[in-house]
Amino acid sequence: MNLARSATLLSVMALAACAAPTYPPDAAGRLQPTPSSVVVSLIGTPLLLAFKIPICAATLAVVAPAAGMSETVTDGAEARRIFADDLDSNCGPPYLLTP
């Protein structure tokens, strides 16, 4: 009963957000977030974190040994810089979806 009530409430909130009017740009010309984009951000942020954590762990598992082996080649510093960029790309921000 509680689960059905929660699902119904979530569905009603999502429908209300989808039916909301769009907002005009603010004074600086930026578009204001719509209620539906806020709902998507709220629902998507936990999924982003759920996917980002294992991808970051897999990147660490590959990059750490590869960085150690990069000492054996002549362009080791460049390879480590590329590894650091990849690590930053997969493990760095954003941690929240913004509307």
Helices (H) and strands (E) in the chain, counts: 3, 0
10-residue stretch averages of pLDDT, the chain, 99 residues long: 70 59 64 85 92 94 91 87 92 88
42 contacts 98 by C-beta, under 8 angstroms: no
pTM: 0.61
